[in-house]
Structures are given as C-alpha cells and as structure tokens.
C-alpha cells in the first residue's frame, strides 16, 4: 500500500476521493477530511467540501524551482551553528514563498477552485487554505498546529499566494524544532495544501473538541472548548474558552441531556477576518454580552458530542477535532479530525500520583494541565525575543503559551500563562512534554516576578495553583497490574468533581461517599437559602456576586440545581453503572454561614458539631427549602441526565422519627425510595443509629458507618481536638463494639452495610477487622485504595 501511495503521481485530489490511509499523499489532516467526507453521514456530520494538493505536488514545486539545494544549505548552516534557527528558518520561508508553481499544477488548483465555486453556486468562494504535513514513514506523527492556515481567502491570485505560504510554513521555527526533537528528516517531509470552503465562524464561534478527557484519558467523556470568532485563538491558547463535557454513553438516548460540565470562559478577544483578500485576520475585543454568554447552546453541545462519538467510532481511536459554526447558515461543521496522541500513547498499567505537603502562600490559580507538581524560579518571558534569557529548570511565565516556544517549554520545570484553555495547542504540547502547566491564570505575568521561587501544582484537580516557595511533594506510583480481587466491595470517597476522572482506571466498586457539601462549596458557592430567599440577603456585595453567578439561568434556584447536578454528574459518570452514594449536605452551621450570602440564614451555635446538622435541617422551617433544592438536583441528575446509579444517603440522622420526616420531604420532591430504582441509605454515625439499627433498617436500603462521628460520639471526643487526638481511636473496644454490632444487625435485617469513615484510609490494616466483622463494602480515599484492597484480600483468604 505504502509503495502504491508514494508512486502516486496525482497532484490534486478532491476530499471525497481521499481515505485516511492517504497520509503519505496528502498528510494526516487532509486524509482525515477526505475520510470524513467519504464515510460519514453528511446529514449528521457536516464537513466543508474541498480538495487537497499532494506531496507529489510539493516535491514538483521544490524541484521546479531548484529549492532542494537551498534547503540543504540552510539546514546545514543551522546544524553547524553558522546560522540561528530564526535566521535559517526565515531564509527558507522567504525562498519558498517566492516560488512558482509548475504550470499544470497551477492550472489544476485553479480549475478545482472554480469547480468548488460552481458546486456551491458562488464565484470566487471564500476558502480556508490549510497545511497538512506528512512524513512518509510515520503517518501517525502529530505535526498538528505547526504549519499555517490562511482563512477567508477569496480569488485566484490570493489562493495561489496562500498556497505558497503554506509551503513556506513547513519551515516555521517551531516545525523545524519539532522535527529535530523527534528525529524527522527535514527533506523527507512534504506538505499538502487543503483548500476547503470557508466556514464563517469569524461571525459566529468555533473551537476544539476531544473524544476523551485530555487530562485523565477517561474515555467516556467528550471535552469541548469554544470561543467567539475563528478557532485559531482556541488552538493557540490566546483566549480562555468555554469548556463543556458530555457523558458519551447517554448520547444515544434523546430524552437525556448528559452535559456534565459547563464553565464560562473569559473569551477576552475574538479573531475575525480582515477586509480585502486573503489571510489578514485580526483580533478584536469581545463585547460584555459575548463574554457573559456561552458560545454553544445545550442542543449544539450535544450535536457536537454526537459527532465526536461517531467520528471516534469510525476511526476506532480517541480523536482530536476542530469545529466551527457558520454565522450565515447557523450550522455546525467539523473542520478537522485527527487521532489524539498524548493519552493514547500513555500506558494504562501505572498511575503516578502527586500529593502536596506543606506549602507556601497561594499566589494565583488557573486551569491545570498534566497532574504533576514542580518547583523552580520564575522567569517571565514577554516575547520570543526574550527567549535567550530562559534558564533550564525554571518556571516559564508568559502571557500566552505560544507553540513557537517548544524549545523553551521543553527546558522548563513548569509553565504558567495568563491566557489559554485546556485544549490550546500549547497545553497539549506541555502535556506531551510531561511538563506541568497552569494556563489561563489571568494575570500571572503581573502577579509573579523574576527569580521568585514558586511551586506549580497540577495535583489538585482542574484548578492549577501557584504557591510561594518550594512545597513538599510526594510522588507515588500505583501499580494497577496487580490488584487482587475481593468479595468485599472496595469503593472510593470522592468529593471533588474536578479530580474524579483522574481515578477512572482504579478497579473500584463505585463511590461509597460523595459528600455533597464539598460540591456545593467548590462549584455552587452560594448558600441555597440565599437563592430561595434572595430578598433576605443583606449585603449588596453578596447580591452582586450572586447575580453574576446565576446569570444565564432560568432563575436563581435553577442555578443551584443545575450546577450541583453537573458537579455530582462528573463523579457519577466516572463510575456508571456502578453505585455512587451521594450524601445530602452535611455542613455544620458555621460552614454553611461561610457560603456566599449564608450568614443571614445560620444560627450561631456553641457546638455546631452536635448542633443544627444533617437530617434535623432537612425537614425544619430553617432549611427545608434549601433541602428541596438538593432533592431537585438529585432528580435532575438521575432523571434528566440519566445517572440512575446515584444512591441517596442521609447523614446525621438522630432518631427514626427524623428519618420518617426526611423521607416524607424527599417523597414530596419526587424522590421516593423504591421508585425508579431509587435506593436511600442512612449514615450510621451516632450511637442511636446502632442501638436502633433494626428500626432504621426498616426505613433504609442500607447503612454506611461514619466512623469519624461514631468514634467522636462513642468516646465523647471532639474529632478536631488536638489535645485528645491520642485517645481518638476507631480501634478502641467501645467503638469496635459499635461497628461490629451494627454490622451484625444490618446483616440480620438483610440490609447492606458499608463503612466510609476515614479509619481504613489512614490505617489500611483496619480493613481486616471490618472484613472479619462481615462488612459488605469499605469506602476509602483513592490514594489508599490499593493498600486497602490488599488487606481485604488477605483477610478474606483467612
């Protein structure tokens, strides 16, 4: 096959006659466009029509102009140090841009352009002229984003000019460097030009999309980035785009809206087409209305995600795609698709986890890329001209992570930028290089200064944080190849939606405890009553902050319901169809008061730990409308989004009378135990839960032992007291008696019984005692999962 391709003398081919295997002929991008035009159902996935010149055309161009010698000479000068990269690169590009096309090739290009006009009923149609590089031996090499694209090119003269400039862009500094690093011969690569009908996203929006989560490799989610105007800003990382995630397995069910994440990007600028012919695009500031609204509607997010799934299925591998919305016909188009290269190459067997110990003051934050942590000295690089100032192992701080800087990025301990999203090309380069990056911080170049020691942490979920000084870091390698099987279920305690996907490869039996209050404080941030009783919020500042957060939602309560449901969905999605036990909110009054607008609604208590907390709140006049929002979020999550693996759990339920009242409020909100498969559990964390276990068992499907509170209340020790810390032990006979007793009672009543307190996470040997007592599941923090699993397996073996 390969030989046939190399011998192919055709110089121009329409997309519909290309297949993905034609990489040697037309490069990955154009082959992929051809594959899509030819094989995908155009009624569902629109790909703009067009044609591509082949690598034979490129070689004919080089030969006809006698450029081979120039290339050899300049590259030799670079190799021997007689010229810098900038000098040699510029000389080559200037030479190539002045070349003349062999007459037949020029005639073919212009004929095809006229034909494109005829097909679309337009004379001199506007086209995008894209470069697609190709290396004969390594068709899967990612040259993406290294060569240039010229947009909104109109007319024959402009088209030919853009084509020559595409050829020249095979020798951008960045492309030369990439080939040097990856061992490609500069003379073996060729360039194919794709000429594609222009999608007018300059007057609409566009972006990037991946058929997996780029950070964790989680393969059941689509990640979409979107900004206003042409897509280059998203690719280059010049703007902070909107970000959306969609759970793929539910896309086939039209009644569901499985959008698990939506975050509004700053989208400071947008790229538009210049007037006059050719490639003169320029950036303009976005309007306030544009910055404050999502680029895509829910319907469009789902349409793109469905396209991503279909494209991935067709190619049989994770895909990296660019999309654009046409401002004239309002339709969505796929303008590029290529295999994703970073996560797919990563081995699935081992997981490295970084955790941060003692650290300095938090200086700023942005989006994390890569999961690692690194420390070093800050060097702020404002422009390419400063690059020489960079020192190996320093932290590169810049306004945008320009992919031209790959050589510097490679030498950096970490990278921090003002702008850019997770799918920016530079973020992808950082990931590929294994360098942690925090992008889109807004103002790193102002807040940080040269020679400052900092730690860049990408180990805390999607938020990347920069701390002053060098922090303590532990790195652990989890070996997933040797995890024993156990009869007792081992589940995870998770509360942070943004880190949930990181653990998707762990063979856990689901989530034993998802603490809702963490999702409220991290994602929702507003006290529910400040939304249901907004007029009682006294502070003007709080009202303004609430207005800003809830903008774009049908009403204030919808903000709470949707944001909370999506936060929980990101945890539920990773484990579906395995159970995910979501515990209703269990803040103490002082913690609720710290939520935005919360102070007006919370009493001051002497002992919040044993105060107005848990079940007691849910049916009381003082919180019931807040609890109803929590219930609505659960319904939305289970019924609107499809996560029927979600089990509800009631915390701190002091009496069976309380249990009845809470179950009644839930039922009134459409959350009825047993209906639509809903299971409701209760925490066992008060001695009364053990003493009355038989009666609780009549009301709930299962128990989960909260050993933190149960120890506190059995021994009468404030769990936060340092002075009494030594006495606080789950191994104390009184506490063990409680645990053993409730396990026995639950089993007798035919109810499930697990434990989700901290004990086995801190002390994996504790899991043995639980197995011996006959527990059905143990839920632990992800870092201790393997140790607990081993202890459980050993205890089960006797």
Of the candidates 744, 770, 768, the one whose C-alpha atom is nearest the C-alpha of residue 756 is 770
Does residue 658 belong to the site contacting Mg ion (CB under 5 A)?
no
Residue from 268, 300, 402, 685 touching ligand PEP (CB under 6 A): that is 685
Q: Which residues on neighbouring strands pair with residue 779, listed in sequence order?
A: 491
Site string for ligand PEP, 489-528 (x = CB under 6 A): ------------------------x-x-------------
Identity of the residue, 326 or 602, whose beta carbon is nearer to ligand PEP in the bound complex: 602
Q: Which does 707 bind (CB under 5 to 8 A by kind): Mg ion, ligand PEP, none?
A: ligand PEP
Q: Which is nearer to Mg ion, 154 or 709 (CB)?
A: 709
CB atoms within 10 A of CB 507: 13
**Residue tagged active-site, from 261, 359, 419, 425:** 425
Q: Which range, of 223-231, 561-569, 597-605, 701-709, touches Mg ion by CB under 5 A?
A: 701-709
Contact mark string toward ligand PEP, 708..727, x via CB under 6 A: xx------------------
Q: What is the DSSP string of 153-183?
A: E-SHHHHHHHHHHHHHGGG-HHHHHHHHHHT
- Report the site for ligand PEP in 444-473 (rule: CB under 6 A): none
- The answer to the question of residue 706 lying near Mg ion (CB under 5 A) is yes
Q: Tokens representing 590?
A: 């002082």
- Considering CB under 5 A, how many residues would be counted as binding Mg ion? 3
DSSP assignment of 424-466: SHHHHHHHHHT--EEE--S-HHHHS-TT-EEEEE--STTEEEE
Residue 42 corresponds to which tokens in the numbers above? 């155009």
Active site residue 425: yes
Report the residue from 709, 710, 712, 742 that binds Mg ion according to the rule CB under 5 A. Answer: 709
Please check whether residue 105 is in contact with residue 60, taking contact to mean a CB–CB distance below 8 angstroms.
yes
- How many residues touch ligand PEP under the rule CB under 6 A: the total is 10
Please tell me the number of Cα atoms within 13 Å of 293 on its side-chain side. Answer: 12
Least separation in angstroms between CB 584 and ligand PEP: 11
Torsion angle defined by CA atoms of residues 233, 237, 240 and 242, in that order, rounded to the nearest 10 degrees: 70
Backbone angles phi, psi at 12, to 5 degrees: -145, 135
Burial class (CB in 10 A: 0-12, 13-18, 19+), 229: buried
DSSP assigned state of 384 = G
Q: Which is nearer to ligand PEP, 542 or 709 (CB)?
A: 709
Contact with ligand PEP (CB under 6 A) among 53, 707, 714, 761 = 707
Min dist. Cβ of residue 214 to ligand PEP (A) = 32
Among candidate residues 395, 381, 455, the one with its CA nearest the CA of residue 430: 395
Residue 628 contact, options Mg ion, ligand PEP, none, Cβ 5-8 Å cut-off depending on partner type: none
- Asked if the peptide bond before residue 37 counts as cis, ω within 30 degrees of 0, the response is no
Between residues 46 and 515, which has the closer beta carbon with respect to ligand PEP?
A: 515
Does 557 participate in binding ligand PEP (rule CB under 6 A)?
no
Burial of 681 (0-12, 13-18, 19+ CB in 10 A): buried
Integer angstrom CA distances of residue 458 from 368, 408, 455, 492, 521? 5, 20, 10, 21, 20
**Per rule CB under 6 A, is residue 53 in the interface with ligand PEP?**
no
> Under the criterion CB under 5 A, does residue 614 sit at the interface with Mg ion?
no
What is the three-class DSSP state of 225? Answer: strand
436 binds ligand PEP (CB under 6 A): no
Cα three-residue angle 402-404-408, rounded to 5 degrees: 90
Is residue 760 involved in binding ligand PEP (CB under 6 A)?
A: no
Smaller CB separation from ligand PEP, 602 or 730: 730
Any idea what DSSP says for residue 553? S
Nearest to 478 by CA among 520, 451, 455, 508: 508
Exactly one of 22, 418, 542, 685 binds Mg ion (CB under 5 A); which one?
A: 685
If the CB atoms of residues 263 and 708 are measured against ligand PEP, the closer one turns out to be: 708
What minimum distance in Å lies between the beta carbon of 706 and ligand PEP?
Answer: 3
Window of 100-108, 380-388, 668-676, 699-707 that interacts with Mg ion by CB under 5 A: 699-707
Residue 608 interacting partner from Mg ion, ligand PEP, none (CB closer than 5 to 8 Å by kind) = none
**Contact assessment for residue 145 and residue 235, using Cβ atoms and an 8 Å cutoff:** yes
By CB under 6 A, tell whether 588 contacts ligand PEP. no
CB nearer to Mg ion: pick between 199 and 520: 520
With CB under 6 A as the contact rule, the residue among 414, 756, 788, 793 that binds ligand PEP is 756
- What, of Mg ion, ligand PEP, none, does residue 418 touch, CB below 5 to 8 Å by kind? none
Give CA–CA dist 27/333, Å, rounded: 21
Return the number of the residue (460 or 586) whose C-beta is nearest ligand PEP. Answer: 586
Dihedrals phi, psi of 740, to nearest 5 degrees: -65, -40
State the catalytic residues: 425, 756
Site residues, ligand PEP (CB under 6 A): 513, 515, 586, 685, 706-709, 756-757
Site residues, Mg ion (CB under 5 A): 685, 706, 709
């Amino acid at each position: 096959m390969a030989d046939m391709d190399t011998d192919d003398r055709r110089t121009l081919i329409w997309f519909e006659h290309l297949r993905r295997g034609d990489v040697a002929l037309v490069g990955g991008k154009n082959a992929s466009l051809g594959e899509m035009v030819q094989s995908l159902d155009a009624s569902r996935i629109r790909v703009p029509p067009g044609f591509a010149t082949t690598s034979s055309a490129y070689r004919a161009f080089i030969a006809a102009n006698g450029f081979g010698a120039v290339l050899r000479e300049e590259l030799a000068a670079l190799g021997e140090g007689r010229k810098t990269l900038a000098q040699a690169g510029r000389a080559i590009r200037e030479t190539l841009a002045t070349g003349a096309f062999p007459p037949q090739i020029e005639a073919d290009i212009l004929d095809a352009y006229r034909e494109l006009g005829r097909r679309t009923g337009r004379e001199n149609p506007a086209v995008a002229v894209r470069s697609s590089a190709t290396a004969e031996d390594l068709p899967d090499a990612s040259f993406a984003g290294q060569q240039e694209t010229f947009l909104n090119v109109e007319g024959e003269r402009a088209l030919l000019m853009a084509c020559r400039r595409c050829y020249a862009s095979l020798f951008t500094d960045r492309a030369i460097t990439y080939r040097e690093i990856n061992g490609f011969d500069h003379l073996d690569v060729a360039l194919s030009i794709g000429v594609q009908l222009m999608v007018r996203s300059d007057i609409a929006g566009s972006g990037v999309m991946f058929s997996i989560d780029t950070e964790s490799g989680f393969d059941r989610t689509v990640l979409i980035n979107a900004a206003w105007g042409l897509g280059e800003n998203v690719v280059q990382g010049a703007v902070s785009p909107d970000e959306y995630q969609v759970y793929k397995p539910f896309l086939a069910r039209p009644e569901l809206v499985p959008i698990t994440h939506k975050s509004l990007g700053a989208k400071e600028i947008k790229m538009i087409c210049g007037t006059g012919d050719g490639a003169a695009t320029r950036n303009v500031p976005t309007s306030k209305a544009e910055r404050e609204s999502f680029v895509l509607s829910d319907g469009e997010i789902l349409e793109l995600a469905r396209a991503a799934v279909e494209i991935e299925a067709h190619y049989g591998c994770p895909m990296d795609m660019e999309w654009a919305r046409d401002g004239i016909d309002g339709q969505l188009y796929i303008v590029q698709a290529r295999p994703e290269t970073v996560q797919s190459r990563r081995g699935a067997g081992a997981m490295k986890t970084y955790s941060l110990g003692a650290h300095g003051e938090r200086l700023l934050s942005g989006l994390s890329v890569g999961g690692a942590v690194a420390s070093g000295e800050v060097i702020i690089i404002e422009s390419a001209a400063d690059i020489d100032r960079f020192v190996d192992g320093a932290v590169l701080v810049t306004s945008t992570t320009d992919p031209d800087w790959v050589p510097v990025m490679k030498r950096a301990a970490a990278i921090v930028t003002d702008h850019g999203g997770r799918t920016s090309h530079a973020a992808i380069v950082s990931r590929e290089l294994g360098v942690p990056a925090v992008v889109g911080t807004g103002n790193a170049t102002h807040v940080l200064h040269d020679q400052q020691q900092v730690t860049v942490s990408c180990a805390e979920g999607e938020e990347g944080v920069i701390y002053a000084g060098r922090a303590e870091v532990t790195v652990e390698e989890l070996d997933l190849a040797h995890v024993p099987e156990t009869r007792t279920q081992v589940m995870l305690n998770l509360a942070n939606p943004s880190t949930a996907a990181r653990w998707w490869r762990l063979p856990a039996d689901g989530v034993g405890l998802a603490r809702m209050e963490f999702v409220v404080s991290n994602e929702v941030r507003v006290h529910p009553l400040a939304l249901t009783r907004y007029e009682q919020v006294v502070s003007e500042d709080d009202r303004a902050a609430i207005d800003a957060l809830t903008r774009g939602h049908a009403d204030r309560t919808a903000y709470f319901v949707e944001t909370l449901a999506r936060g929980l969905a990101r945890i539920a999605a990773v484990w579906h169809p395995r159970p995910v036990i979501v515990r209703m909110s269990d803040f103490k009054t002082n913690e609720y008061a710290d939520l935005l607008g919360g102070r007006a609604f919370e009493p001051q208590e002497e002992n919040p730990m044993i105060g107005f907390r848990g079940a007691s709140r849910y049916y009381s006049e003082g919180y019931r409308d807040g609890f109803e929002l929590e219930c609505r979020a659960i319904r939305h999550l289970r019924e609107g989004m499809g996560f029927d693996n979600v089990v509800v759990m009631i915390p701190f339920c002091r009496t069976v009378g309380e249990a009845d009242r809470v179950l009644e409020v839930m039922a009134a909100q459409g959350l009825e135990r047993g209906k639509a498969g809903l299971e409701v559990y209760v925490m066992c964390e008060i001695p009364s839960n053990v003493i009355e276990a038989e009666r609780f068992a009549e009301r709930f499907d299962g128990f989960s032992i909260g050993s933190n509170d149960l120890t506190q209340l059995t021994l009468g020790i404030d769990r936060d007291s340092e002075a009494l810390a030594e006495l606080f032990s789950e191994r104390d006979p009184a506490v063990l008696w409680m645990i053993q007793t409730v396990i026995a009672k639950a089993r007798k009543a035919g109810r499930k019984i697990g434990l989700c307190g901290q004990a086995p996470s801190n002390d994996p040997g504790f899991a043995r005692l639980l197995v011996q007592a006959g527990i059905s599941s143990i839920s632990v923090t992800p870092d201790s999962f393997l140790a607990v699993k081993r202890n459980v397996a050993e205890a089960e073996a006797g």
